[in-house]
A and B are shown apart, each in its own frame.
Chain A
Amino acid sequence: MISHQTLNPKNSRHKRWVKSTHWIITLSFLALAYSGFFILMVHPRLYWGEAGNSLTPALFELPISRNYHHGGWENKSPFFDDAGSPVSMSRNFAMFNKNSWARSLHFLAAWFLVLTGALYLLAGILTGHFRNHLWPRVSEFRLRLFWRDLINHLRMRIPSATYGPQYGLLQKCTYSVVIFVLLPVTILTGFTMSPAITAAYPFLLKIFFGAQSARTIHFFASALLLLFLLVHVVMVIKSGFKKQIRAMTIGK
């Protein structure tokens, strides 16, 4: 029976390397989201371009800490004599700031994500996992089929779970976007906020339009990843929670 299942790709199960990388990346992502939220709370303002701070206009501001819309600035002094001169002001209040541990936790978790992610990508290419299971086939990628799959999901008509990587069209597309677009973009925009890394690789500042733009893109890509996590968990529950969790862990 087991040999029959292994031989038949329709019944193939999740590979062990897929399961272990899945859970390491899940834990890293949760640690990154948690610490990232604390980091964002310290300066909940987002900008576009290279420079952005409390004395320059923001794209938008999030009401997520006491640092939101604060006005604790004094001793305004312009740097130059002309009217529109940039200014310096001194902060006169105590910030909410947990970045001491939040930043270190963020980067520690990022190491696990990046190293595990690199192994996963390598294995995914070498074993044919991406080609066989993840990338939608040209023949199946039809707008009409995609649309139908989407409507079915919105109506919560979710196919019940298999024990392995037999993914639907919408599922394949979503996983591909998460793995090949959203996660790489969050990692690269993360690099773009690093002064040492952008010194070595200045093209990062070009492709993301500057350090603050990279921060804003990092925020939106992370928000989409959180949205994915939410929908993913709902789909796991809808398609048979016990069966799915077993298939992704002990595998029976």
Chain B
Amino acid sequence: MKKNQLISRRHAIITGLASLSGLLLPGCSKKLPPTYGNILRMGDVLTYVAHRTLLPGQSMVREYEYKDISSFPAIGTTNPADPAKWFFNEDYGRLRSGAFADWALSIEGRVARPRSYSLADLQRFPPRTQITRHTCEEGWTAIGQWTGVPLSRVLNSAGILPSARFVNFYTYDGRMDSIDMFDAFHPQTILAYGMNGRDLPVPHGAPLRLRVETQIGYKSLKFLKRIVVTDEFLDVGNRPRGWAWYTGI
């Protein structure tokens, strides 16, 4: 005697697969980061697509009071001018000894007016100051005040082309990473030149660092050098030691 079940296993599997593919479909029409056939990367892409599909658009992260500012560890590269380290960069040392007067951020790729912005150029944009929480993948958090120019202003001033999909960042400590347009145009995604009311200190990425407040700390690259806007996901191979590209979680 077979009991009349409300949900059979077959039903559950079919419904589950259907809703999963429904989740993935809007992502498939766009460009997604490659998975290299790696199941962990597939999970990362699922999280990325789910966040972009299910989370309401452009919510602001929590901003804190001045008194909430906490101590802030400087990790990763803390000085690209250190000749003892693998990431040693001679140019950075020279720029630093000139108080970054000769430093400039070049913006190229899919923009109508590629050009370089000096620190003074960037500081002429209307600034944005925000006190936010930095969430490190290691597990710690720190609250700091960041002053800079919203990335969206700089991209608009360079005339970003409608086909553009990713913003790629290159740094003086030899790193490269990218974010999609959703995060690039988030109002709290800024190019920061000030920290806690002073010039950005060297261990925290002087003279200019990225702040992507909706993702984990390692997306907020320090020591910025060059920005390249692309239509395609710039595949630099499986990311060093397998770190996820999207880290909104």
A residues bordering B, Cβ < 8 Å? 2-3, 6-7, 15-17, 20, 39-40, 42-43, 45, 50-56, 73, 75, 77, 79-80, 86-91, 95, 97, 99-101, 103-105, 107-108, 111, 115, 119, 122-123, 126-127, 193-200, 202, 205, 211-212, 215
Contacts and interface: CB of A to CB of B under 8 A. Distances in A.
Contacts of A3: 1
Interface string B205-249: 000000001111000000000000000000000000111100111
A146 to B, nearest CB: 32
Contacts of B69: 79, 86
Given A104-B41, A107-B249, A199-B214, A51 B7 contact: no
B125 interface: no
Given A122-B7, A195-B215, A39 B203 contact: no
Nearest to B47: A107
A56 B72 CA distance: 9
Interface of B: 1, 3, 5-9, 12, 16, 20, 39-44, 46-47, 51, 55-56, 59-62, 64, 68-75, 78-79, 133, 135-143, 195-198, 201, 203-204, 213-216, 241-244, 247-249
Given A73-B73, A200-B56, A211-B133, A126 B7 contact: yes
Given A104-B244, A122-B7, A199-B214, 6 more contacts: A50-B68, A51-B143, A99-B138, A111-B46, A195-B248, A197-B51
Question: Which label, helix, strand, loop or mixed, suits the secondary structure of the A interface?
Answer: helix
Given A53-B142, A88-B204, A123-B7, A194 B248 contact: yes
Contact of A55 (B42, B59, B73, B215): B73
Top-9 shortest CB links A-B: A196-B248, A108-B43, A43-B139, A55-B71, A53-B140, A104-B40, A51-B70, A90-B78, A194-B249
A43 B141 contact: no
B140 A54 contact: yes
A86 B60 CA distance: 25
A7 B1 contact: yes
Contact of B61 (A56, A119, A127, A198): A198
B203 A196 contact: no
A120 B118 CA distance: 57
A20 B8 CA distance: 11
Given A50-B68, A127-B6, A202-B62, A103 B137 contact: yes
Contacts of B72: 53, 55, 79, 86-88
A63 to B, nearest CB: 16
Nearest to A124: B7
A97 to B, nearest CB: 7
B171 to A, nearest CB: 17
A215 B139 contact: yes
A52 B69 CA distance: 11
Nearest to B248: A196
Nearest to B60: A199
A104 B137 CA distance: 11
